Amino acid sequence: MDDDDNDDEEEVSDMLPMDDPLLASLLDNSRVQAGLSMPRVVQALQALAVNTANAQRYLSSPEVAPVLLEITRALQSETG
């Protein structure tokens, strides 16, 4: 494993620890799991991580919108 791989792992764990209940909820969700295998969904999530204003662009996508809805539901249930 090179240093770049270590840097990526540290960044991910800094954002959301692997034992975080929210992460567990997302990884247990079959729709989110399926979405993570679709390049368009991954691209949308990356764009949203950079700028949440990009959300409107993806909410009309039949491929991306259902995954975003599931992620939003998970966020609401964990924070609310």
pLDDT digit string (tens) for 65-74? 999 999 999 8
**Residue among 79, 38, 28 nearest 58 (CA):** 38
Distance CA 5, CA 21 (A): 25
- Higher model confidence: residue 13 or residue 59? 59
pLDDT tens digit sequence for 27-67: 889 999 999 999 999 999 999 999 999 888 899 999 999 99
Write down the pLDDT at residue 78. 74
0.75 exceeded by pTM: no
Mean pLDDT confidence for 8-25: 65
